[in-house]
Chain A
């Protein structure tokens, strides 16, 4: 459903953030994008909905060429692409409900949104999603009153309000504690599975990525250096993505996580919360 072909991104400063990146994602497929800081993970997902303008290549979503679109068409295409952010990016001073409904802005006229007169079906959907992400009853709280984990749940619900076919997820757990990280990760995976959504998840926590995500793509200095099953992430692969280092301890955890993830369908916490290894 998403086909990226030889995508290039060159910043005006001359940095080449992406070098001829090709990647395709099937309907309902969830992939983990890992790589060191500055490898271009964030640039890659922001090129998909053109929050960053790519310098070359092509991106096709559901048969439509994203890069050829004019401003209006692009806005319509963005409605199909939900996005979840590291720092949540909620409208802090508005209520949880307004934040959820802001996911429907692309479908709502200006005056309707100005007076907060949203479609009844949208409101019903918002309550349903709020319930699904575990925040029922919170709809009139202001977003800045919530904890980090709760905010990310609002962020997830907002993205799903768009009824997207693709989710772009940028470091969803980087601002959260280990336990909340696992819960959020599980929530995202479960929702993708329930709704048949494709997703690209940027994540720097390799253990968490391999535990929950069957397919891993490794990015290094703007190039894809690995694309395969999470079970095959080993010392050689990690060295290729992150550079030479003693990866034995991490590899052991990754292998354990990947196999447990595959066996237990990632729904239960059979592995005790591992101590994260941020390399």
Chain B
């Protein structure tokens, strides 16, 4: 065997065996990168302006103004929080039947396909796109936002819950079936009891996401503090904008902390 290794040197075998192809790919990629950078139309003057604006923004952050737009900010946050809570509650409630339909062990082929299709659509469409559509349909304001977040919540919750439901212990379902329990009773005793911790955990997590999303979809007109933030930016009121962003960060922190406590309690 030793005769096959004339020297004791070793190198890791290259990912692409053919040296020609390897070097062609490397030089090709480098060229593409150079051409790509060259094609960028960089406006250095504009960048300098951007830096200036950025500095003004940092200045605004250092002196956030909670007061002069106070009533607007307050209304925005109340709207956002209302949207968050209502859409999470409605979304979670509606996601449960969809999850049952999308769980292979609880559903039949027909409902399975319908529910999975709904989940796929809901998860493919980004919140902003849905919000744009719904604002066009129902007009500006928090109702469109509520519908957007509810729709997104159903897809998110139903997918994750369905996966959890598919992994429950089948023996419990079988035992209850054998005792003459109805389908709904089996869902209550055998399924809900097994997925409850995850249901609560996911709902709290989704509440978090919905609050952050509620700030974003306001920018496209779906109500909430996002709209207030957008207006503040449009008017170059960076100090008010900074105040809004700081409050958003604070609320997300508090929510994170509280959800941590609740999740620890249910485990």
Q: Which of B12-20, B84-92, B166-174 lies at the interface?
A: B166-174
Q: Which residue from chain A places its CB closest to the CB of B170 in the assembled complex?
A: A89
Contact between B179 and A91, CB atoms less than 8 A apart: no
Q: Which of B104-112, B157-165, B182-190 lies at the interface?
A: B182-190
- Distance between B44 CB and nearest chain A CB, rounded to angstroms: 64
A91-B184 CB under 8 A given contacts A51-B177, A78-B177, A83-B178: no
- Interface bin, chain A: 20 to 34
Q: Does A106 contact B (CB under 8 A)?
A: yes
Q: Which of B172, B174, B185, B196 contacts A105 (CB 8 A)?
A: B185
Contact between B174 and A102, CB atoms less than 8 A apart: no
Contact between B175 and A89, CB atoms less than 8 A apart: yes
Q: Which of A79, A93, A94 contacts B179 (CB 8 A)?
A: A79
Contact between A105 and B193, CB atoms less than 8 A apart: no
> Among residues 176 to 208 in chain B, which have CB atoms less than 8 Å away from a CB atom of chain A?
176-182, 184-185, 188-190, 193-194, 196
- Distance between B68 CB and nearest chain A CB, rounded to angstroms: 52
Contact between A51 and B172, CB atoms less than 8 A apart: no
Contact between A91 and B178, CB atoms less than 8 A apart: no
Contact between A85 and B171, CB atoms less than 8 A apart: yes
Q: How many Å lie between the Cα of A127 and that of B178 in the bound state?
A: 22
Q: How many Å lie between the Cα of A110 and that of B188 in the bound state?
A: 9
Q: Which residue from chain B places its CB closest to the CB of A112 in the assembled complex?
A: B185
Q: How many Å lie between the Cα of A94 and that of B178 in the bound state?
A: 18
Contact between B182 and A91, CB atoms less than 8 A apart: no
- Distance between A199 CB and nearest chain B CB, rounded to angstroms: 14
Q: Which A residues touch B181, using CB under 8 A?
A: 102, 105-106
Contact between B194 and A93, CB atoms less than 8 A apart: yes
Please count how many residues in chain B sit with their CB below 8 Å of the partner chain's CB atoms. 20
Q: Which A residues touch B189, using CB under 8 A?
A: 91, 94, 98, 102, 105, 113
Q: Which A residues touch B172, using CB under 8 A?
A: 89-92
Contact between B193 and A94, CB atoms less than 8 A apart: yes
Contact between A78 and B182, CB atoms less than 8 A apart: no
Q: Which residue from chain A places its CB closest to the CB of B178 in the assembled complex?
A: A83
Contact between A114 and B177, CB atoms less than 8 A apart: no
Chain B interface residues (CB < 8 Å from chain A) = 169, 171-172, 174-182, 184-185, 188-190, 193-194, 196
| 20 other A-B residue contacts (CB within 8 Å) besides A51-B174, A83-B175, A92-B169 | A51-B178, A75-B182, A78-B177, A78-B178, A79-B179, A79-B180, A85-B171, A90-B172, A90-B175, A91-B189, A91-B193, A93-B196, A94-B193, A105-B179, A105-B185, A106-B180, A108-B185, A110-B188, A114-B188, A162-B179
Chain A interface residues (CB < 8 Å from chain B) = 49, 51, 75-79, 81-83, 85, 87, 89-94, 98, 102-103, 105-108, 110, 113-114, 158-159, 162, 168
Query: Which 5 residue pairs across A and B have the least CB separation, nearest first?
Result: A106-B180, A105-B181, A89-B175, A79-B180, A89-B171
> What are 16 inter-chain pairs, A to B, with CB distance below 8 A?
A51-B177, A75-B180, A79-B180, A83-B178, A89-B169, A91-B172, A91-B190, A91-B193, A94-B193, A105-B176, A105-B185, A106-B179, A108-B185, A110-B184, A113-B189, A158-B175
